[in-house]
Amino acid sequence: MSQRMVSINDWLIRQKRRFVLQLYDEEIQQVNEFQRFAEFGRLSAGLIHDISTPLCAAVLTLDELRTESPNVKIRRARQDLHQLERYIVAARKQLKNESSKTTFSLTIVIHQVAMLLTPRAKVHNIKLIVNTIASIRLYGDQVKLHQALSNLINNAIESYDDSSEYNRVVKISVSKTSSRVIIKVTDYGKGIKQKDLQKIFEPFYSTKQEIGRGIGIGLATVKQNIEQEFDGKITVNSKYQKGTCFSISIPVKTKS
């Protein structure tokens, strides 16, 4: 066998070995990710069970206080706790592979989310601006959309740091074409670095980990809810230190 044939054969062996090792590494990464999902699912199921009892007690207490004293803040706290109850019910149904799809008003959901997060925004001196269309109705899981919008708006609030003194607003806007509804959540905060933009929707990837916040499931869950529950799409446009805009596109359809 010529020296050239030996060199080619050695090269092919090295390439095959490298390919096999690469496949092995990818398989190990997938197994690790599946294990993390399984552990997260187990912890989530336990958390849903554990949180139900004190939540129910808090709601009942606020219900009693509402009859004794019609305080606006008590009413707001009661509404927030009832929304948390709906989240838990939705999570239980998801664990059981049950669906809660209905026709609902997009405007009502957006205003509910804005009302829920307004106190948090005020603490950070941020104004929420809502521009929506009253007549739009969607078909799907209302709680899942509520969760998705809450996550995006909360992230927008957190995008501002103490050095941002001007233009501290978060805009929630709705527009409509003949076939789709577009929901945008825009902030003028710190933005997202280019290297993170391609990964922010990946499970367990978080830009907040460096400061001890976030486990990287928020945006992954948002993407899953929009795509699976509403057949929609979510995109992001961001410039570092300039701001970020998340855009949700949902096809207009009614219950078949």
Residue 133 and residue 83 in one domain:
no
Residue 256 within any structural domain of the chain: no
Residue 43 within any structural domain of the chain: yes
Name the domain count of the chain: 2
Residue 63 within any structural domain of the chain: yes
pLDDT at 123: 84
DSSP three-state, residue 200:
coil
The neighbour count for residue 190, using CB atoms within 10 Å, is: 19
Q: Which long-range contacts (CB under 8 A, 24 or more apart) does 161-169 make?
A: 161/189, 161/190, 164/188, 164/189, 164/190, 168/124, 168/125, 168/126, 168/127, 169/126, 169/127, 169/128, 169/129
Q: Which domain holds residue 193?
A: 101-251
Residue 160 within any structural domain of the chain: yes
Q: What is the mean pLDDT of the chain?
A: 76
Contact (CB, 8 A) for 194 and 158: no
Residue 225 and residue 199 in one domain:
yes
Distance CA 244, CA 154 (A): 13
Distance CA 77, CA 115 (A): 11
Residue 153 and residue 38 in one domain:
no
Beta strands in the chain (DSSP E): 101-105, 127-131, 137-141, 169-176, 180-187, 233-239, 243-251
Q: What is the pLDDT of residues 121-153, one digit of tens each?
A: 888 899 999 999 988 999 998 888 988 998 899
Residue 180 within any structural domain of the chain: yes
Q: What is the pLDDT of residues 21-70, one digit of tens each?
A: 665 565 555 545 545 544 545 555 555 545 655 556 566 666 666 665 56
